[in-house]
Each structure stands twice: as structure tokens, then as C-alpha cells.
Structure 1
């Protein structure tokens, strides 16, 4: 699963805003996205993905929210 799909999946299950750390932890815990180098997803990677898809995600008060 692509990282943006994993973020959406986690956020739909949570049904509310989450921090990038919380999102990365959930993705790693459920093994939804595997990096090519085998390392766990980082909060920085989640943040970079959020910034690449402004039509899908918004940042409010330190939390990431779904726009879809």
C-alpha cells in the first residue's frame, strides 16, 4: 500500500485528527506501508506526504485532518 493510502486508512479508522507521530506509529504497528530499505515509517515521511497532497489533508492546531 502506498504511504498516502496508509495515512488515509489510519485516519478513517481513527475518525479524527492525529499528529504525524501518531500516524507513523499506527502505520508501523499495522505494517500498512513498508519502506524500500525496510526501516519503519517516520513522522517526517508522513509530514512530507501530507504536504504533497493538500487536496486530501489539512493541518490544523498541530493535527492532520482528512479533507476527503
Structure 2
């Protein structure tokens, strides 16, 4: 799974916008995405990825949400 896919899955799963710090902490905890070198994901990495995928994500400062606001009951 790519980082942007894991971020999208997490926001869908939680059903709410999340800060870059919350996203990094949760992805480090649940291991949906791991870096090749095994180091922890940092909020700045989430910032960069969500900035590059504006077709998927909307940002307001450090708060990240999905562009189409999809939410599931999972």
C-alpha cells in the first residue's frame, strides 16, 4: 500500500478529518504503511504527500480531510 492510500484509508476509517500528527502517529501504530528504511513516519511526510495529492485530499493548515468527504461504517 502506498502512503497516500494508507492516509485515505485511515481518514475513511476514522470518519473525520485528522491532523498530520494524528495521521503519522496512527499509521506508525497500525503499520498500514511502513517506510522502506523502517524509520517512523513523521508529520512532515504526511504534509508533503497530502500536498501532492490535491485530487484526493483537502488541507486546512495541518488538518487533512478527503476531497469528496467519503465516510464508511467499517
Task: Give TM-score, length-normalised by structure 2.
Answer: 0.85
How many positions carry a matched residue from both structures?
A: 68
Per the TM alignment, residue 4 of structure 1 is displaced from its structure 2 partner at its CA by 0.4
Aligned Cα RMSD in Å?
1.1
Per the TM alignment, residue 60 of structure 1 is displaced from its structure 2 partner at its CA by 2.4
Per the TM alignment, residue 34 of structure 1 is displaced from its structure 2 partner at its CA by 0.9
Following TM superposition, the consecutive aligned residue runs of length 4 or more in structure 1 with deviations greater than 6 angstroms are none
Q: What secondary structure does 1:28 align onto?
A: helix
Counterpart of 1:8? 8
Q: What secondary structure does 1:65 align onto?
A: strand
Task: Give TM-score, length-normalised by structure 1.
Answer: 0.92
Pairing 1:1-68 to 2, within 5 Å after superposition: 1-60=1-60, 62-68=62-68
**1:9-43 Cα distance to aligned partner (Å, 9 max, x none):** 11001111110000011111100111111101111
